[in-house]
Each structure stands twice: as structure tokens, then as C-alpha cells.
Structure 1
Amino acid sequence: MKKIKQLVASDRWIVPFLKSQKSGLFWSILLNLFTIIAASALMFVSGYLISRAAQRPDNILLIYVPIVLTRAFGIARPVFRYAQRLVSHNWVLRFVSKSRQRLYESVASTASSIRGRLQTGEVLSLLADDLDQLQNLYLRTLFPLGAGLLVYLFVGVAVGVANWLFMLWWLFMLAIVMVIVPMFSYFANRARVHKQKQLQSQLYTDATDAVLGLQDWILSGRQKDLVAQQGRIMANLAKTKHKGMQFGWWRDFAIQMLVLILVITTLIWLGGQFRSNQMAVNFIAAFTLAIFPLVDNFVAVNQGVSEASFYEDSIERLNTLPVPDASHIEPEKLDDTTVVLNHVTFNYGNKKVIDQLDLVIQPGAKIALLGRSGSGKTTLLKLIAADILPLSGRVTIGNQSVSKLQHQLSQLVAVLDQQAYLFDTTILNNVRMGNIKATDEQVKMAIKQTGLQPLIDSLPDGYETKMQEAGTRFSGGEQQRFALARILLQDAPIVILDEPTVSLDPKTEHDVLTQIFKVLQDRTIIWVTHHLTGIDYVEKVYFLENGQFSLADTPEKLRKTSTHFQQLLAMDEFY
């Protein structure tokens, strides 16, 4: 519980929305309270009516008022309930809508940073699971808890008017039901909830990895292993959920028993209060029956609090992502986009990957970074994109440290790597992730520039065609062109190419690279590659070795002076 308080105190997803939507929260809780009051009032007048009618009054007018009230409260209860559902669900869906937009913007604008920390399945888990949990936080915890506290105070005052000693007994029993039992549920259920979250996240991650690598599973003949592995996770998840349901059943049973004790003691107390008065005896059943509608609210509070551990992980994971700050002043556009690495050093543990490296990349320059696997090429890209910070030295864009450009880095640097991050939605929606505010015409123009218009025209649904999960409807080359269209729409002056064609066949690789350098001719390109296909598109080639550049020159000069470069060219021609 302490952890939840700390998370909420520094939260950037829930608290800001609560502050901006106070009226919706107020009306939802108030309408929930009115629903509970109407339900209790219905049971109260129904109990009175039954008792009074059993005395066989000689005139119908003596029970006419309870009959009318029964009808009135019978109508009021569903009306208040329906109104509360409208207000609360509209409020929550507005939150979910805004949060999903912010999350998509965060994923789209910081893809390189997220890629370094999260797998694709984990990103999908964030999108599909965590926001749903925050939705439940409102519907199943905040709203019932707020109404429950109001009922607690309302009942306490009402009983206190009749007898303050009995009021203390009521408050004591309700405190057990609404405070002690929920706290016990929270701590007893926490480990199980945490395990369930881990299994759900693992299921997302493994299933996504299996889909993306399905061809490898089939080629290796290990389909049964894949099915067995997923089956084990699902079986463990089902077992954990079943235990959680059993715990919930026993918890709700305990609450029902506590309510039964409260009903019996109330019945005994009312019998002592009203048995001497023939008319007042009708209130015994009325007051007793009015207790039962409160039970549903008590159960809802316990269920919500016991599941609070779900929200801990969701809030924590979402707050690790950068969230667009509405109050943030839009930074001025940099006129100078020169990239400079000045005496930059970076270590992985005790291993020095980048060693006192210097590099200047002028605006519009096209360079290629080559080197063996593990030589530090990807590390260098991460330093430029501010995914990691140097141990010493400076990385600047326009003479400003990249660490201070976080709010506008997505406007300065775009990344196109070997895996296009495409989702099971329309072509328009996928490409629009490069710029959420882009119009349909701007998106279509970006797609057209990448040479995909003939493909779009051949599709029955055109731009509204669903790409399927990970873009599997299209070939590898087509997927990269869609990712390139997204880069065009992003309109960043610096583009990082992290081996975007490594998985393509030679002809497709050549075609895609030709298109990339054609449409990005006015931008700075930093290209990491193992192949020399398309190397003539760049102005300078850098070979990274032992944290330093062992070679740095134009492709034309390296053809004449570098034996290593000549060997690489020969290998590419051979393959």
C-alpha cells in the first residue's frame, strides 16, 4: 500500500487526469451513493409495507404511502444506476482514449529507446493490459471505494441518531468489512497477483516472439515444442487465476458472514427497541432488510482493494515511458543539426566499446559505419539518439547536448532498423504513427514517395487494408518501405539506418536502399551496415575497430587504397 502511495505521488498518467476531471469523478461517486440509498430505501419501505399489510389494515390508505414509495424507489434505483454507469464509463473511456493516444505517441516517438529496453511483446502488453488495468482501477476501486466511504459516514450518522452505543457497534463491524478485510486481502493476494501479471506478460512476449519467428520454428521442425511451451504458460496462468478466484470466494463468504452477524445483532436490537409499540414493530423488518443492499457495495470495495497489486505494476511500467507533457512549451527548432561526438567514451562493464571517439557529421551528410559484430556500431547510434549517455565526452546536435534535447529528440532523429514495428491495423494508421497529427493526404503522400502506390492500388481496401500483426501481410521489402513512409512523415532532419535491409534478398535490398537514399536525399543519414550494397550512395565510410575509427574516407578512395574494403566488395559481389 505504501508503494501505491509513492507511485501515485509521482504519477504522470492517473493523477493529472483526476485533477482535470474532478466533476466527472464527483458525479460518478455521488450517483453511486444515490443508487445504494435508493436500493436500501426500496428494501426499507418494502419491509415496512409487508409488515404493515400483514396486520390487515382496515383502510388501504394506511399503506398507500409505502406502496407509492416502493414504486418510486423501485424506479429510482435503476435510473440512478444507469446514470452512474453513463457518467462513470464515459469518464473512464475518455481517460483510456487519451491515455492510449499518449502511449502510442510515446512508443512512436521513442521507438529506439523502447526497443533497447523492451521486447515487442512487452510493448503489446503495455498497450493491451496495463491501460485496461488502470480502467479497472477507476471502475472497480476508486468509484466503489468513494461511495463506500460515503455510505460508511451516512450509516454511522443515521444509527447514531437512534443510539450512539449501537452506532459504535455498527462502525466497528463496517470497519472490519471495509478496512480490515480489504487490507488482509491486499497483502494475502499480492504475491499471487504479481505472479499472474508476470505470467500474462510472459505469455504476450513469448506469443509475439513465436509469431515473429514462426518460420524458424517451422523450418526447425519444433512446432510441438512451441505449442507445449505456450501450453505450460497458459496452464500456470489458469492455475494462478483459479487460486485467485478461490481466494475471492472465501473472502466474499467471510464478508457475508460478517454481514449476517450485523443483521442478527441489528434484528435483536430493533426487537428490543420497537416490540412494545404495535405500530413501530413494522420498522423491525424495514431496518433489517435495508442492510442487504449495502453488501454489494462492501464486496465491490474488497474486490477492488485486493486487486490493487495489479495497478502497482501497471502504473510503474507506464511511468517508465516518456509521456508528452501538455504544459511543456514547444522548443525552438534547431537551425543547425550538426552532429558532433567529442572525445566520447563508453563502457559495458569493464569492456571499453567506444574510446575517446571524435566525429563530426554535417547537415545533409551521408555516412556509413562498418565494423565487426560487437565493434560498437549500435552503441554509437544509441549515443547519438540519447538512448545511453557517454561515460565521458559530449554528444551534441546543433551544439546542444543530446541529453538536454529529450523533449524534441523525436523531431530531430528518426530510426529505421531491420525490424519494422507494424501493427494489426490499417495502412493509414500504421504510417500515421510517424506523425499523429498528419492529415490523410500527408500520409498518402509519404506512402507514394516510397514507391508503394502501385501496391496500394492493387489492394481491394486500399489504404484501409489491415496489415496484420507485425505487418505479416506484406513482404520484408514492403514492410521496410512502410516504415520508411513513417520516417518521411516524422520529418526528422537526422535519420539513423540500423541495418534496415539485412534480412532482405540482394535485389530487394538494392531496391529498398535506392528508394531510401532517393527520398531522404535532403537529410542527414547515418547508416550502419555489414554489406556494401549501395555504399556509393554515401559520401564517407567509417570503419569502427577497438572503439576508434581505423579507416575513414570516401568509397571511391577506399576502393583504391584499402585492401580490406576491396575484400568486402568482392564478398558482396560473390554472394
Structure 2
Amino acid sequence: MFKHDHWVKPDLKRYRWLLFWSLTLGILTFVCAGALMFTSGYLIDFSARQPLFAAIYVPVVLTRAFGIGRPVFQYLERLTSHNWVLRVTSHMRRKLYQVLETDAAFWQEHRRTGDLLSLLADDIGHIQNLYLRAIFPTVVAGGLSLLITLGLGIFDWGFALWILLLLLIQLILIPWWGLLVEKKRKQRQKALTQQAYGDLTDATLGLSDWTITHHEQAFLQQATQAATALAASTHTSRKFQWWRDFCGDLAFGLIPAALLWWSAARFGSGQVTANWIGSFALVMFPLAMAFSSVAQGVGEWPTYQGALQHLNDLTPSERPLPAQLAAPTQVQALTLSDVHFRYNDAAPELISGVDLRMKRGEKIALLGPSGMGKTTLLQLVLGDLTATSGQVLLDGQAVLQYQNVRPQLFAVLDQSPFLFNTSVANNVRLGNETATDAEVWAALKAVQLDQLVASLPQGADTPVEEAGFAFSGGQRQRLALARILLQDAPIVLLDEPTVGLDPITEQALVATMFAVLKDKTVLWVTHHLQGVDRCDQVLFLEDGHLTLQGRPQELLATSARYRHLYALDAGEI
């Protein structure tokens, strides 16, 4: 699993000294715990036989030292190990966000929202547990096994090897047994978890559709089916883990029993030697905690393995960009020159020889059936995708040279603008974080939301529910439009923002969009012809080609096909 890993191994090297001290402090914690029990047992037995302070002074000092050392070392170990783990997982999360941001267009086309949520919330968490619950306990238990064997070897190597065998049962045999039994079940639980993320997010994001169609029961069934199966499988795992841990405790009980037998045979049966017998047996009890967690951590190995495989399967595309330029003060023209695009050599061509020139302030409507390349064309304009051949230019410079300053040049309003679970004002202010309250209210007024927002319980400070569910579809689009006004980019791309709206709301939103964007260059991807008369040009994109192009009034007068489509869209035929 680690042979081709590029998520865990680099961090093991990067933070190796923190890892070393975490493991060392963990071993010292249990050494102090065992030594505390040894000196305490010796002190109790010895003081009962000779209650003289001078005679027990050294055991008292050692008991105090180990009693203080154990919590101190444990605190330092927790501090160091969690510092190490949080550094590692923080680095992983940054790396994951960079991968997702680099391939945002690819992910949007090929993965569900639940897949991303699983990566961000679940897989990174499992990698964190890989360190805390598997690597740390196993290495610490292994180090203690070595120290115990060497310590007993001073007295009797034969017995030391016998104790090592009993320790290896705890360290290897019982974890291996648990892993063997749980492997397929854990893999299924991992798959069910990913399915639950996907089903729940898909169902939640489509909640309004479920409600409108009165399919609430189907919603609950789809959203909870995987979670129910996961809960049943987890319950079965917990029952097995209880029996596994019970067998492990029974096996571990053989170690202090063996120590009692060996120390009695080794040191005799007098009162003095009884002190040593009890002390040796007591050493093992606090060490049980170090070994008991190994089986639990190793038992989760299939889950860790699946998470690590999931992350390593992410192969970010390497897309070299040209030297970046500063944003121009004005953009006079956006030009597409003989643009072709396909995802790879084996894939079909999605865009074929598109030529387009948009002058400053021009409004163009781009129409066509679904799957014909309209959204792909927008991604080429933005620079999310690189043309296979041809060029996308801003005043003669490649759009790829402006990727570092893209928010200053392009604003996008798509079908589902995301609203965060914060205030209305904060959601609008995402377009310009330095905008004043007056500018926010001016943007809200421009999109005709000022009266609605003023009527809310806390005005512009009213919280917006997750994904903006407290607002209607048209209101969500207007809030996103207000955000675009504050962004004040010269070019605005509209990717079917009226999908799912009723005709009255759609017409009102279209009127508002063109009123507030009158000074902007607008490329509007739409699925029907209502409202395109507000545009300077209408383009039809079919199979990657521009098949119809012209001013709306001209096409209506000269193109029989356009008149037929217009009548169909208006419901006249």
C-alpha cells in the first residue's frame, strides 16, 4: 500500500523528529507506569515488614518520582503526538484542496458532491486515526516488548523469551485474528460510508424537488438506506470486537501469572523475597493498556487502507500555465479564434472550430441542446480548460495569462449559486470583502431585494440557511447577482441561471439581470429563447459547432428554423 504512496510517507519524513519524540515519550509514559507499580508494591510490602522511614526512604523517593513522571510524560506525549498529527493532517487537507481546485472542472463533471465530502471529512480523518490508533500504539507496544524482554533477560533469557512469546500474542496474533475476521466487513463499511455521503448530499441538494413531487418517503428511503446498512454492520463489528478484547485480556492475564510463578521460583519464598515477587507481577497491569489498543487500531486497517487508496487515486493534472500578467484596466474584446477542445486523444471533440468576438458591453446568448458543449465553452473562456488548438484571447493576450487575477476579469452566475450559512450581508460581500454596508445595500437594491431583506428579523444580518434554503430559487439568484455587482468584473458569464424557475420569476430575473449588467460584457448560456431579444447576438451551438448566428431581430426575419424554435419555445405550436 505504501509503495506508491504520496500522502503518508512524505509527512513521515517531514516531521520525523516530532514522530520520534512522540514515540519516545509514549514509551517513557508506560515505563514510568510500570516502575510506579513496581516501587509501590515493593514499598507496601517492605513498609509492612519494617515500618522505618530510613529503611523505606529510597522506595518512597522512587515512587514519588515515577508517580510524577508518568502524568508528565503522558501529557508531553499527547501534546507532541497531537501536534504531529495535526501538522500532518493540516498539510494533507491543504494538499487535497489544491488538488480539487486544480481539477475543479474535472471533478464537477465526473464526481458527485458526496465524493468530495467523503474525501474532505472522512478519508483525512481515517488517515489521522491511522497515526493515533494504529502506528503509535503498535510502535510503543513493540518498544515496551523489547524493553521487557531485555530486562527479564538479565535474570533469565529462557523465561524472557517465554514472556516475549506471550507479548507477541497481544502484539501480532490477536490483532491478526481480528483483522482476518473484520477485513471484508470493514471494506464494506467503507463503501457504505462513501455511498451514504453521496446519497445524503444528492438527496439534500434535491430536497426541493422531492418536496414538490410529494416523494418524501422515497427521499427518506434513499437518504437512509446506506446509513441503515452501515449501522447494522457496525453493530456486528462491535460485538466481535468485544469478544476479541475479552480473549486478549484473558491471554494477557497469563503474563502476570507467569511472572508470579517465575519470581517465586527465582527468589524463593521468604518474606524478603515476597516483596520482589509481588512487585514483578504488578508491573504488567498498567502495561495492559499499551497492548489492548493495538488490536483495535490494526482491526481498522482495511478502513485506513481504503482511505489511503482513495487519496492516492487522486492524480492532479499537470497544466503548465504561461507567465502571468496583471489585470488590464479595461477589456475591449474577448476573442475565440478557431477553438477546438477534447479531454484527451481518445475522447471525442466537444468544441470544433469555434470563432467568436465579443466587444466591450456586448450581450450574446448561447443556445443549444444539452450536452452540446455550452458549459465546456464557458470553461474555456474562463481558463478552467485549455483549448486543444486555437486561442481564447482578451485584447490579444491569452486568457491563461490572467488566471492569477481572474476574479478581477470574470464573474459567473450559474444554475445553483452557493450561499453559505452566514448572514445575507456576508454572502453578498463575498464579491468584494472590503465593501461597506452602504455598498451592500446598494447592490441589494439594484437586484430588487432591499425591501425583502429589510423585512427580515435581523435585516442584512439575518442568517442564510445552508445552501440558501431559506430563500426561493429566484431570490437565491438575485443574492448571487448582488454579489456579482460588488465584484464589478467587466465580463459576466451566465450559465443557465433561470433553470428551474417558473416563467414569471424567470422573466423578472432576466429583466433584472440585463438592467444591472447593462455596462458589462455578457455571455449568457440559456436553454430557450425567452428573453434573448435583449441580446445583441444569438448563437446556436450544436455538436461543438456554431450553426446559427445573428441578431435576434434579423434571425426572426430571415431564418425559418429560428422562427420555428421561437414559436415552440413560446408554446405557440
Same-fold call, TM cutoff 0.5: yes
The residue number in structure 1 matching 2:24 is 30
Query: What pairs up with 1:136-175 in 2 under 5 angstroms?
Result: 136-175=129-168
The residue number in structure 2 matching 1:528 is 525
* 2:352 is the counterpart of 1:359: no
TM-score when scaled to structure 2?
A: 0.80
Q: Equivalents in 1 of 2:520, 2:313: separation in Å?
A: 31
Q: Equivalents in 2 of 1:351, 1:20: separation in Å?
A: 40
Which letter does structure 1 place at the counterpart of 2:496? Answer: E
TM-superposed CA distance for 1:542, in Å, is 1.6
Q: Equivalents in 2 of 1:444, 1:46: separation in Å?
A: 72
Query: What pairs up with 1:161-310 in 2 under 5 angstroms?
Result: 161-275=154-268, 279-310=272-303
Equivalent of 1:368, from 347, 365, 368?
365
Which letter does structure 2 place at the counterpart of 1:475? Answer: S
User: Identical aligned pairs, as a percentage?
Assistant: 40
Q: Equivalents in 2 of 1:102, 1:427: separation in Å?
A: 31
Which letter does structure 2 place at the counterpart of 1:39? Answer: A
Q: Equivalents in 2 of 1:136, 1:113: separation in Å?
A: 30
TM-superposed CA distance for 1:267, in Å, is 2.8
Judge conservation of contact 1:371–1:543 (CA < 8 Å) in 2: yes
The residue number in structure 1 matching 2:33 is 39
The residue number in structure 1 matching 2:43 is 49
TM-superposed CA distance for 1:324, in Å, is 13
Equivalent of 1:554, from 551, 566, 570?
551
* 2:503 is the counterpart of 1:509: no
Q: Which structure has the larger Rg over C-alpha atoms?
A: 2
Once the two structures are superposed, residues 292-317 of structure 1 have per-residue CA deviations (whole angstroms, 9 ceiling, x without a partner) of 22221222232222213323333444
Judge conservation of contact 1:341–1:393 (CA < 8 Å) in 2: no
TM-superposed CA distance for 1:350, in Å, is 10
TM-superposed CA distance for 1:501, in Å, is 1.2
SS at match of 2:369: coil
How many matched pairs? 562
Q: Equivalents in 1 of 2:436, 2:19: separation in Å?
A: 39
Q: Equivalents in 1 of 2:349, 2:161: separation in Å?
A: 69
Which letter does structure 2 place at the counterpart of 1:33? Answer: I
Which letter does structure 2 place at the counterpart of 1:557? Answer: E
* 2:473 is the counterpart of 1:476: yes
Change in 2 beyond 3 A, CA 1:557/1:449? same
Which letter does structure 1 place at the counterpart of 2:32? Answer: A
Change in 2 beyond 3 A, CA 1:338/1:70? same
Moved more, 470-479 or 379-388: 379-388
Judge conservation of contact 1:532–1:572 (CA < 8 Å) in 2: yes
Once the two structures are superposed, residues 228-287 of structure 1 have per-residue CA deviations (whole angstroms, 9 ceiling, x without a partner) of 444543331111101221232233233323322333333332222222675344222212
* 2:54 is the counterpart of 1:61: yes
Change in 2 beyond 3 A, CA 1:292/1:495? farther
Q: Equivalents in 2 of 1:178, 1:404: separation in Å?
A: 57
Q: Equivalents in 2 of 1:429, 1:138: separation in Å?
A: 38
TM-superposed CA distance for 1:573, in Å, is 5.2
Q: Equivalents in 2 of 1:312, 1:510: separation in Å?
A: 52
Which letter does structure 2 place at the counterpart of 1:344? Answer: H
Change in 2 beyond 3 A, CA 1:440/1:262? farther
Equivalent of 1:340, from 336, 343, 362?
336
Judge conservation of contact 2:105–2:384 (CA < 8 Å) in 1: yes
Judge conservation of contact 1:494–1:524 (CA < 8 Å) in 2: yes
TM-superposed CA distance for 1:185, in Å, is 3.5
The residue number in structure 2 matching 1:499 is 496
Q: Equivalents in 2 of 1:515, 1:236: separation in Å?
A: 48
Change in 2 beyond 3 A, CA 1:525/1:171? farther
Q: Equivalents in 1 of 2:188, 2:355: separation in Å?
A: 47
Q: Equivalents in 2 of 1:73, 1:461: separation in Å?
A: 59
Which letter does structure 1 place at the counterpart of 2:563? Answer: Q
Q: Equivalents in 2 of 1:102, 1:482: separation in Å?
A: 32
Which letter does structure 1 place at the counterpart of 2:525? Answer: V
Equivalent of 1:541, from 538, 542, 558?
538
Moved more, 34-43 or 93-102: 93-102
Judge conservation of contact 2:325–2:401 (CA < 8 Å) in 1: no
TM-superposed CA distance for 1:520, in Å, is 5.8
Q: Equivalents in 1 of 2:286, 2:491: separation in Å?
A: 63
Q: Equivalents in 2 of 1:248, 1:359: separation in Å?
A: 65
Change in 2 beyond 3 A, CA 1:458/1:350? same
Q: Equivalents in 1 of 2:77, 2:244: separation in Å?
A: 27
Change in 2 beyond 3 A, CA 1:58/1:215? closer
Q: Equivalents in 2 of 1:214, 1:443: separation in Å?
A: 33
The residue number in structure 2 matching 1:418 is 415
SS at match of 1:532: coil
Q: Equivalents in 2 of 1:107, 1:574: separation in Å?
A: 42
TM-superposed CA distance for 1:524, in Å, is 5.6
TM-superposed CA distance for 1:529, in Å, is 0.8
SS at match of 1:279: helix
The residue number in structure 2 matching 1:467 is 464
TM-superposed CA distance for 1:45, in Å, is 1.6
Once the two structures are superposed, residues 354-409 of structure 1 have per-residue CA deviations (whole angstroms, 9 ceiling, x without a partner) of 4733234457564322112343434444565677787x645655689999999888
Change in 2 beyond 3 A, CA 1:346/1:140? same
Query: What pairs up with 1:87-106 in 2 under 5 angstroms?
Result: 87-93=80-86
Judge conservation of contact 2:474–2:506 (CA < 8 Å) in 1: yes
Change in 2 beyond 3 A, CA 1:362/1:228? closer
Q: Equivalents in 1 of 2:154, 2:322: separation in Å?
A: 56
5+ residue gaps, structure 2: none
Q: Equivalents in 1 of 2:376, 2:344: separation in Å?
A: 10
Which letter does structure 2 place at the counterpart of 1:45? Answer: T
* 2:527 is the counterpart of 1:564: no
Moved more, 169-178 or 399-408: 399-408
Once the two structures are superposed, residues 79-124 of structure 1 have per-residue CA deviations (whole angstroms, 9 ceiling, x without a partner) of 4334433444455456556666666676678654432223233333
Judge conservation of contact 2:366–2:540 (CA < 8 Å) in 1: yes
RMSD, aligned α-carbons: 4.3
TM-superposed CA distance for 1:139, in Å, is 2.7
Which letter does structure 2 place at the counterpart of 1:141? Answer: A
Q: Equivalents in 2 of 1:94, 1:428: separation in Å?
A: 34
SS at match of 2:154: helix
Which letter does structure 2 place at the counterpart of 1:31? Answer: L
Query: What pairs up with 1:421-436 in 2 under 5 angstroms?
Result: 421-427=418-424
Q: Equivalents in 2 of 1:303, 1:116: separation in Å?
A: 39
SS at match of 1:61: helix
Judge conservation of contact 1:368–1:526 (CA < 8 Å) in 2: yes
Change in 2 beyond 3 A, CA 1:267/1:412? farther
Q: Equivalents in 1 of 2:266, 2:11: separation in Å?
A: 49
Moved more, 43-52 or 307-316: 307-316
Q: Equivalents in 2 of 1:536, 1:73: separation in Å?
A: 85
Which letter does structure 1 place at the counterpart of 2:502? Answer: D
